[in-house]
Amino acid sequence: MSLQLLLLLTLTVRTALAGGYYEYITWECLSTSADLTDVEFIMTYHFNKDPYIRFNSTVGEFVGYTAHGVYNAESWNKGPTVQQMRGERERYCKPNLEIHFSSLLEKAVRPRVKLMAEKEPSGGHTAMLVCSAYDFYPPAIDVYWQRDGKRETTATISTDELAEGDWYYQVHSHLEYTPKSGEKISCVVEHASFSEPVVYDWDPSLPESDRNKIAIGASGLVLGIILSAAGFIYYKKKSSGRILVPS
């Protein structure tokens, strides 16, 4: 699993020309690892949302996208401007990304994972399992399946990370399979809140429908016992208050 963090600083300089023309510059720092070994610095000049010149630390020089951009790129690459931009990766990106990565990892919220059968096998038809992760942050997460310890990729369908509207996210992964005797099926979750991948094993010993029936039956039994006990106590209290008169 890889985490991606984008630090974006946008500076906007509007012109005084009629018609709403404006120019702005974006500074971007991107990294996919907490050790910041692959930090990339990108600065882009835009005119009315269209980029016309860009510096990329991986390329190491300015590149123009329009005639005006190409002209400026050739000029800037020969002067001190390009040398200054080559130092922004270390000067600007790394210190700020360290702060943001630290803040992100400290505030990571563990997902609540639920593994259940969505479709039971019947009449030779395949079964369907769903592994759902709820209420986690940050949104970057990897949910996948294993069969007997090997990653399954051919019969799985997963959703994107779905925003729940309260800064938390959820994701759902489905596995379609034909049950085999003795086979071990697991859902594996990797997230920034875990120090290592967490494995959730599927227990097919009792179908979901039977588990639900047992849960409902047990709840009914407990409720019946409570009502019976309450009735017995009420009867005893009424009986103890009676006075018998001989006829």
In order of their start, the domains of the chain are 5-106 (3.10.320.10), 112-201 (2.60.40.10)
Tokens of 190: 């990797």
Q: Give pLDDT tens digits for 1-40.
A: 444 555 554 555 555 455 667 888 888 888 877 678 888 9
pLDDT digits (tens, 9 = 90+) for 148-177: 999 998 889 999 999 998 889 999 999 998
Which strand (E) or helix (H) includes residue 239?
Answer: helix 208-240
Model confidence, pTM: 0.47
